[in-house]
Amino acid sequence: MKRTRWYKDGVFYQIWPRSFKDGNGDGMGDLYGVYEKLDYLKSLGVDGIWFSPLYPSPCADCGYDISDYYNIAEEFGGMEAFRKVLDGAHERGMKVIMDLVVNHTSDEHEWFQKSRRRIEPYTDYYIWRPKRPDGKLPNNWDSMFEGKAWQWDDVRQEYYLHLFAIKQPDLNMDNPLVRQEVVKILRFWLDMGIDGFREDVITFISKREGLPDASIPAMRGIFHYNLGPRLHEFLTQFRKEAFSDYDCVTIAESALITPEKALEFISEGEENELDMVIQFQCMCADCLFTDFVPMPFSLYRLKNAFSSWQEKLDGKAWNMLYLENHDHPRIISRYGSEQFRIQSGKMLCAMYLFQKGTPFIYQGQEIGMINWRAESVSQYEDVQTINHCPHWPEDKRLRLYHRASRDNARTPVQWDSTEHAGFTTGTPWFTVNPNYREINVAAAEADPDSLLHFYRKAIKLRKELSAVRFGKYKEYFRLSGTFYVYAMESPSQRVLVICSFSSEAKYFRAPRGYDLAKGKLVLSNYGSSLRNNGFTSMPYETRVYVFE
Ligand code: NOJ
């Protein structure tokens, strides 16, 4: 199948279904709610939707623990509602991509139930290890969410590996039968008409032979199972036996990946293993590897991350651009300022939307939703959060979770100022952020100066500016601790993006070669006045100039 790489012209919107919109009043977001909001999504200018998992699941990890790969959960409306949304999106010219979670399944999946009873052919579908004579665990790896990476199973009388929660046993991808299952799943959904997959922790699927002990204590094990020895082989098989028959997109989530490593998978060619990578470097400007090890925000780290991916992938591979998703706290609360919520939200929008790649916007980001302040630890739902340092005193946990928890991004979308933010007519499954009376879609629609309208304008502009798609990225004033300034430059057009990360007024002077008076100011969050080829930038000011 000839690949058109349609995703290069698109902007995606991520839906985390439980919290997007409830359409049937049971308190849980669902596909009826999504259907109601398709026109809203279209009005934003997005060209595609990424759905976090919609499959049946006991929800130990909010759907990332799948118990049936061939169905849509009843609570989301089942297959009928899904087909309606798929058709509705396609009719509006929007693509639909699904989450593929095959590093692990739910322990309630039939494969696991049969595997623990040694029923063929499922016996080796998972990674089982016997008890050691010395009584120690099979190796010293930690799981991401719950203690050690090994769980004893009374039925099989062996340990199984779980890199995430106990209820998420890892599949044994070395088993060719498991890979056949993956191919079958991919073809099933692609045949139904979906347009691609976001692949969950896909760089974890090949484990090193012998599962050796980890010598580095931090994130114990990750260096042994990330980017494992047979990863290229597995991904190539998926490409050849499934993806290459469809004009679809594949986006790999990959922790700890560098641009150099990513190029091994995403360098463009007819058979490249993957199309884009969800890297984490852009999410580490205020933490050390994970949000749960916070550090002061560093603009240098932020600029370095974005610039290095822009520069190193240029002409070779395609970037996936994002600032928020369901795994990270809200971006205004992190890289922006809650005090200057609208202005910093606009600046962050311009900061990433004019770079080369395919931008993703996460639900609620477009109206500037911010972190949620829980009153007690018992209000948290997320398995990663509640298992993080459970022995700490409550107030210390609350402080850390407020800053780091994924639940910050999982409170229901705030649609209007009515009860439960218009998310549901029932009782919401999760706390609605009490700031919904001020921060909601209806209020943003009514205010011409809102962040929502700014996103609309930025998305539209991005599509009109050829240099964003075809130009070359160039960063200016790398050493500035206040401004992030870059340009997309092509022979016929230059787009200059100026972003202040300061809450104070600071003078900005244009880089050499740019005469601001000759440029067209196409987007800004304050005024347009100029002084000496520069301006006094206001808190979190942003300006986008076009030179033709
Ligand atoms: C990454 C997903 O984005 C996250 O939400 C999930 O908890 C883990 N993978 C495990 O599937």
Q: Would the pLDDT of 217 be above 80?
A: no
Taking alpha carbons only, the member of 362, 198, 182 closest to residue 277 is 198
Condensed to tens digits (0 to 9), the pLDDT of residues 36-68 reads 999 999 999 999 999 999 999 999 999 999 999
Please give the pLDDT value at position 1. Answer: 83
Give the three-state DSSP class for 250. strand
Q: Would the pLDDT of 137 be above 90?
A: yes
In which band, very low, low, confident or very high, does the pLDDT at 224 lie, cut at 50, 70 and 90? Answer: confident
The ligand 1 atom at the shortest distance from the C-alpha of residue 64 is 11
Task: Determine the Cα–Cα distance for residues 440 and 370; give it in Å rounded to an integer.
Answer: 11
- The alpha carbon torsion through 11, 270, 260, 495 (nearest 10 deg) reads -40
Residues of the chain with CATH 3.90.400.10: 104-172
Mean pLDDT of 433-443: 98
The ligand 1 atom at the shortest distance from the C-alpha of residue 253 is 1
- Residues 472-547, CATH architecture: Sandwich (2.60)
Where is average pLDDT lowest: 141-145, 187-191, 344-348, 471-475?
141-145
Residues of the chain with CATH 2.60.40.1180: 472-547
Bridge pairing between strands 542-547 and 520-524: antiparallel
Please give the pLDDT value at position 220. Answer: 83
Element (H, E) at 524: strand 520-524
Q: Which residues line ligand 1 (CB under 6 A)?
A: 61, 64, 101, 164, 200-201, 253, 326-327
- Pick the residue whose CA is nearest to atom 11 on ligand 1: 64
Phi, psi at 365, each rounded to 5°: -60, -35
Which residues make beta-bridge pairs with 288? 290
The ligand 1 atom at the shortest distance from the C-alpha of residue 103 is 11
Bridge pairing between strands 520-524 and 506-509: unpaired
What sign does the dihedral 347-352-356-358 (CA atoms) show?
Answer: negative
Residues of the chain with CATH 3.20.20.80: 6-102+176-457
Mean pLDDT of 212-231: 87
CB 493 within 8 A of CB 548: yes
Cα distances (Å, whole numbers) of residue 548 to 216, 225, 508: 52, 49, 22
> Hey, what CATH class is 104-172 in?
alpha beta
| Structure token pair of residue 337 | 């300022």
Please tell me whether the overall predicted TM-score, pTM, comes out greater than 0.85 for this model. yes
Mean pLDDT of 114-120: 98
Please give the pLDDT value at position 215. Answer: 86
**Catalytic residue set:** 200, 253
- Residues 6-102+176-457, CATH architecture: Alpha-Beta Barrel (3.20)
- Beta-carbon neighbour count of residue 341 at 10 Å? 20
Pocket test for ligand 1, best of 101, 328, 385, 405 (most atoms within 8 A of CB): 101
CA of 490 from ligand 1 middle (Å) equals 38
Mean pLDDT of 389-405: 96
Q: Would the pLDDT of 238 be above 80?
A: yes
Please give the pLDDT value at position 152. Answer: 98
Q: Would the pLDDT of 222 be above 90?
A: no
Please give the pLDDT value at position 523. Answer: 98
Mean pLDDT of 205-210: 95
Condensed to tens digits (0 to 9), the pLDDT of residues 503-548 reads 999 999 999 999 999 999 999 999 999 999 999 999 999 999 999 9
In which band, very low, low, confident or very high, does the pLDDT at 324 lie, cut at 50, 70 and 90? Answer: very high
Mean pLDDT of 279-286: 98
The ligand 1 atom at the shortest distance from the C-alpha of residue 164 is 10
In which band, very low, low, confident or very high, does the pLDDT at 129 lie, cut at 50, 70 and 90? Answer: very high
CB 545 within 8 A of CB 493: no
Phi, psi at 545, each rounded to 5°: -110, 145
CA of 254 from ligand 1 middle (Å) equals 11
CA of 338 from ligand 1 middle (Å) equals 27
Task: Determine the Cα–Cα distance for residues 21 and 382; give it in Å rounded to an integer.
Answer: 19
Please give the pLDDT value at position 468. Answer: 98
**Arithmetic mean of pLDDT over the chain:** 97
In which band, very low, low, confident or very high, does the pLDDT at 216 lie, cut at 50, 70 and 90? Answer: confident
Bridge pairing between strands 95-100 and 48-51: parallel
CA of 300 from ligand 1 middle (Å) equals 28
Instruction: Say whether the peptide bond before residue 121 is cis (omega within 30 degrees of 0).
Output: yes
CA of 400 from ligand 1 middle (Å) equals 20
What is the percentage of the chain residues whose pLDDT exceeds 70?
100
- Pick the residue whose CA is nearest to atom 10 on ligand 1: 64
Where is average pLDDT lowest: 1-5, 22-26, 136-140, 281-285?
1-5
Q: Would the pLDDT of 337 be above 90?
A: yes
